[in-house]
Structure formats: structure tokens, C-alpha cells
Amino acid sequence: MIAGLFVNGFKSYSQTSYIHLCKSSTYKFTTIVGKNGTGKSAILEALNFYFKQGFWNANKQSKNKDDMFISPVFLIEKVAFNKWIDHSPEFKSQSSKIKKNLESISRFLWEEANDTFKGAIRRPYIVDFFNQVNNLKRDYQKDYYLLVIGRDVDSKNTSKPMSGYEKELDSISLELINSVIENYYTYIYIPVEQHASSTLKIDNVQMQKIMNQNVILKIEGLLKEKMLVDGKSQSLIDHINNQLSLFVEEINSTVKIVDDTYEFKGQRNRKQNLTAADIVDNILEGYFSKRTLKSSHKELEDLSSGEQRRAMIDVIYAFLKNKGKENESTGRNVILAIDEPEISQDISHCFEQFERLERLSTEYGNQVLVTTHWYGILPVIENGTMLHLSESTSYENKFSIFDFYNYLDNREQFPDEIQLKSMYDLAISLSTYIRKDTSKYLLLCEGGTDKRYLETLLDTKKVRVIPVGGIDNVKNIFSLLVMPLKIDKKSNSIKKVLCLTDTDPNLTNNTDISKDPSGNIQLKRLQINVEKSKVDLVNLDNFNPQAAYKVTRIEDVLSTKIYKKVLENLLNEILEGSDFEGFSHANYSFLEDSLFTNLIGDTQFLHCKRVEATKRKPDFIKFVESKKTRLSYDYVSEFNRAYENEQIEDIPLLFQSIQEFFKDEVLKPIPDIVSSKQTVS
């Protein structure tokens, strides 16, 4: 993956800058935000130049060509890369030498380079780079090559600003290393002004990268492929040449009747037969040019600009998704860079487009870089990196980088344009969405963990679950969705929306929250109801300071049998029978005949076997909750396995309440469950 980028003299970057692009090889989705003119698109264009697909767009203030360069920072998984290069037709003869040199370069950058920058040459961009290297060391030094390599303004190979490692090279050139990198990665760049109709032609180079197909090689392969013709094994191109030769002989036999000196014959020392390359262009023109992408029988150029943009992203998503999870050892490591995916889009489609792009990264392993002015996606992304570019002319204040995993922890550091605009953009998009006939029901929840649990049983073809980054954001978006309904009495949401939160220990007074006159958009909190053996969805404005509230989170109302299993597996794996803080976790057990899965408060699920275990119960719960994200993934995996094997014995009470709210069949079908027990009327 590309972890960062050094750039100087390109577009808005008049001086050397280091741009931190990605914080994790697991979550390679990066959103680049900032106002116009801050240098967002320049980052993607600079990478396009490095991969030999663009031209140098010089900064007008940069005068010294010797200082102009673009050098990406690559973090390359060793096992996958080594497997690829050992089998690469182009590089396998030199694979040992290449791996040896990459190991030397990597060792220098991980361990030695930092000490070579002292005094005046230790500029802020150097400090930023080594800060990132130090953050990556623990998790990546052993298993990943670290490489800084680039091109200057004349496309010549360079290692700036890490030129110190060139002394480590042994019988290898920067040109060869750059060639290896270009072949190992596939960089697909979609700028704002790119036309879908030209990009999505099958014979277009960009389209062939998306398809992972070289159309010319495909045609040549078909022409050269051996087949049984007239009882002989020969290629199509050989058969054509043979038949044409016979045809020419027949013509010559006719003209020789007049004078046997007449003859149709090729020039001496010139090739006599057709090759596959001779007819490829004609096939491209005569076959593929007549087969253009259409939507509802309409040519792309006849669609609106927004529809064209959407079609382009849809096709990219379809091919990369169909390819499945990335296997880096195949040498097709896609880096997809899209400038403003939301441009010209109907606002209701923005969320869906960004959701797909994030999925290409998180589920299918591609690195995805997007620039955007639509901040509605920010509260929704669970993992990835956000890079904010300010208008400051000071390098120290130019770049701010955030981890989406800690979005809530860092939001107070966000500029106002991000904090406020992200809520408004998302609310406007959703407000438009719920008024469409084809839309699904919406369920807004607090975070990605909630979303994972909810989607175990909710039918995602009927309900779209959107995590928005905490209870405050759930309430804020609810208010923004309801506001138009209070202004325009005729306005009405077509589909129901459930804004769902936990019941926290410190329940606040929410009686001032607006209500949807139609009742279609509602704000509810989860509440365990022990007396009635159910999970209530209680209006958040139902506040009584004298009442006792039972803390309820989504983890408290799951399938007891499955949650018990994943808890036990996790504890056994992590602790491996050892003591936990001085006593054994075997002093605790989980009871699957409990209705609820809550660990906090009065619970029949968590059983303390000894007095000492009861005293240390808060510490034990704290330890379990520190593994919250891991538990959610394990639970989903175990639930899906049980679902596929038809081993789900009952529907958790939470989902019965959700189905009752929507008054529709919004759950996945579960066979062999007694309908009278589980179905909600």
C-alpha cells in the first residue's frame, strides 16, 4: 500500500511536503477533505504522474527543477511480494537480487535513516515521516518492506529525500525497482473531469485495468489458440493464412493462363503472412467499438452527468467486487483514486456510492483514496484514515490526520467545517433518500459494532443500517430529519426510520427533542424489560428523574447461546488458562438459559462462582469490554455459521421488537422456528 507521499514542485506544493495517507494496512480507505485550492486533487494527480499515467503540473512558484520530485512511500507485505516476484515472468530471473536489495533499503529506512538527518536538514517533513515510521515499526517492521522511491520532473528515477539508501544498492538500479513497483501495483485514477463514456469502453486502457484484462493480449491469444481445423491442429491465424494462400494460388493459376510470368507475390525480405497483431486493431474497431455500455438501452453520453458518474463507480465496484478479496501475491494490488465521487450526484445517492467505495477497501482489500466536499460519510466510516488539508501556508498547520476508529475521541479536534458539515450533509442525503419509493427502511445506530450485530438478522434488502458515531449524533440527525416535517406539514417520509440508542447509565432529559408529526421517524432507546421478558424500544423523551433505568446496550440483548460461546472462546484463547489479574477467569461462567446477555447490573447471564470473583467482577467486565470490537466480529461469524447450518433456535428479543416497530417482515427467514412463539403480529 501507499502509506504516504513526498512531493515538491507539483501543483499547489511549492516546497517539499510529506503527506501521511494511510495508518493501517488492514483499513486502506482514506478520505481527503479540505476547501478548494488546498491540494486535495494534487495528491491523486501526483501519484498518477508517478505511475506514468499523467503529466507534470508544475507549481508556478517553483523555479529549481532539481528540487521537484514525487516519491510515494510504500509498505509492502513481504510474503505476498516475494511469492509474486518469484513467479513473475518479467522479474523472476532477478528475484533474489531484487529481494536482497529491498531488504537492505527497508532495513536502512526502518533503523538507520532517522539518524542521518540532523541539524538544518532535519526539516518538518522529515520529522513527520519518521514519526509515522516509528508508529508503524511495532506492527510492520518484521513482515513489510518499507520503500521510498519516486520520479523527478523529467520522469527520471529518484530516491529523494531518502537518497542515503542508494549506497545500500547492490547491482541494481532505481529504474529496475520502479519498474517492479509499477508492475506490482495497479493505480486507477478517476479525475473529476473524466468522461464515463470514454473510460468505460472495453478497449480503454483504464477500463482494462479495472477488468484486469488486456484486450489486445486476449484477442491475440484467441487468434493463436490451437484448434482442430480440417483434421489438423492449428491456430485461427494459421488457418486464415493457409486459406488466403490457397486463394492467392487460385488467382495466380488464373492469371498465368494468359502469361505464366504474371504472379501475385509479396516483396522479398518482407513478411508474407498475417500476424495476430495485424488484425487486432480491426477487431477493436469493428467489434468492440460497436459494443458500448448502456443503461436502460440508453448510451452513456445520453445520460445526465450525475448518472454517468454513478455508472462509472458502479462498474468499477462490480469488477473489483467480483474479483473478490485481494491476494497481493497475484500482483494485482489495486490502488483506486477517485476525485470527488459525489460530483453531479443526486444527493440521495451520495451515501450509497461512498459506502461501496469503503467496502472495496474494508471487505475486498483494495486501497481506496477519495477526495470529497461531501462530509456526510464521515460519521459513518468505521475504519480508515481522514486527512484534512487546511488553507494555512504554514507547513506545521497544513495537514491533520485522524483515525476513523477513534472518530468520537478526536472529533473535538476537528475544524468546524468538518464537525458541522458532516452532520448536515448526511442528514440532507438521508432526508432525500427516505422520500423515494424505492428506498429501504432506515435504522440509525450509534456505531459499527451495533451495525454488525443488527445485520445478523435484519434483511439488508429491506433495512439499511447506518452507524453515525455515537448517541449525540443519533439525536442530532433525528432532529435534522424531523425539522423539514415541522416546517412543511405536507411533507412526509415514505419509509419508516428508527433512530436507536443504548440506555446509558446517566440518562439525560430529552423532553425538548422534536417529534415527527407523521410518526414515521422515531427516536428510541433499548430497555431490558425483565418483568415482561422482552426488549422495549422506549421513546427517548420519556424521561422521569425518579424512575429506575436499566442500563441496556445492544450487547445485552443478543443470542445467549452464541454470545456465551464467543465469550468463552475469546477468554480461553487470550488467557489460555492463565490467571486474570491474580485469579482465574474460570471463576466465571455464562448461562445460556438467560433471556439477556448483559454483564452489568442484575444479570442471570454472568455467574460468579466465588466471593472473590464477585468482588473482582467490575475488573473482569472491564477486561471483556476492552475486546468489544473483536467480540462483535466473532459473534457475527458464529451467528452466520449457525444460520447457514440452520442451527438458530430462537430469535433474540431485540429483533422481535424491531420487527414490531416497522410492522413488516424485515428479518431474514429462519426455518424450523415455531411461528407462534417467534412471529410478531
pLDDT digits (tens, 9 = 90+) for 88-146: 889 999 999 999 999 999 999 999 999 999 888 889 999 999 999 999 998 899 999 99
On whether the CB atoms of residues 11 and 62 are closer than 8 A, the answer is: no
pLDDT of residue 578: 52
pLDDT of residue 253: 92
Task: Calculate the alpha carbon distances from 527 to 91, 451, 502, 596, 654 in Å.
Answer: 62, 18, 8, 11, 10
Q: Where does 434-553 sit in CATH, by number?
A: 3.40.50
- 246 burial (CB, 10 Å; 0-12 / 13-18 / 19+) is exposed
Query: What is the full DSSP assignment across 479-501?
Result: HHHHHHHHH-TT---SS-EEEEE
Averaged pLDDT of the chain: 84
Please identify which residue in the block is written with the cell numbers 415455531.
Answer: 674
What residues contact residue 139 under an 8 Å CB cut-off, 6+ apart?
Answer: none
What residues contact residue 93 under an 8 Å CB cut-off, 6+ apart?
Answer: none
pLDDT of residue 681: 38
Please identify which residue in the block is written with the cell numbers 506490482.
Answer: 184
| Residue 673: pLDDT band with limits 50, 70, 90 | low
The yes-or-no verdict on residue 44 having pLDDT over 90 is yes
In angstroms, the CA 448 to CA 404 distance is: 11
For 338-381, what is each residue's pLDDT tens digit? Answer: 999 888 777 777 877 888 888 888 888 889 999 998 888 777 77
Residues 620-649: what's their mean pLDDT?
A: 89
What share of the chain in percent tops pLDDT 70?
89
- Residue 299, phi then psi, degrees to nearest 5: -65, 150
CA dihedral 316, 320, 323, 326 (to 10 degrees): 160
In angstroms, the CA 678 to CA 681 distance is: 10
- Domain limits of the chain? 2-195+301-413, 218-286, 434-553, 560-647
Q: Is the dihedral of CA 449, 454, 460, 465 positive or negative?
A: negative
| Range among 213-222, 267-276, 539-548 rated most confident | 267-276
Spatial CA neighbour of 430 closest among 365, 511, 355: 355
The two domains 2-195+301-413 and 434-553 share their CATH topology (first three levels equal) = yes
pLDDT of residue 374: 86
The yes-or-no verdict on residue 411 having pLDDT over 80 is no
On whether the CB atoms of residues 82 and 89 are closer than 8 A, the answer is: no
The yes-or-no verdict on residue 150 having pLDDT over 90 is yes
The yes-or-no verdict on residue 567 having pLDDT over 60 is yes
Name which residue leads in pLDDT, 505 or 437: 505
Q: Lowest mean pLDDT: which of 282-291, 323-332, 598-607?
A: 323-332
The yes-or-no verdict on residue 203 having pLDDT over 80 is no
Class of domain 2-195+301-413: alpha beta
Residues 35-57: what's their mean pLDDT?
A: 92
pLDDT of residue 504: 82
In angstroms, the CA 11 to CA 418 distance is: 24
On whether the CB atoms of residues 109 and 147 are closer than 8 A, the answer is: yes
**Which helix (H) or strand (E) covers residue 277, if one does?**
helix 276-286
pLDDT of residue 680: 40
| Residue 678: pLDDT band with limits 50, 70, 90 | very low
Name which residue leads in pLDDT, 37 or 285: 37
| Range among 68-77, 578-587, 602-611 rated most confident | 68-77
The yes-or-no verdict on residue 324 having pLDDT over 60 is no
In angstroms, the CA 168 to CA 103 distance is: 10
pLDDT of residue 9: 94
Cell of 49: 504522474
Name which residue leads in pLDDT, 376 or 399: 399
| Residue 392: pLDDT band with limits 50, 70, 90 | confident
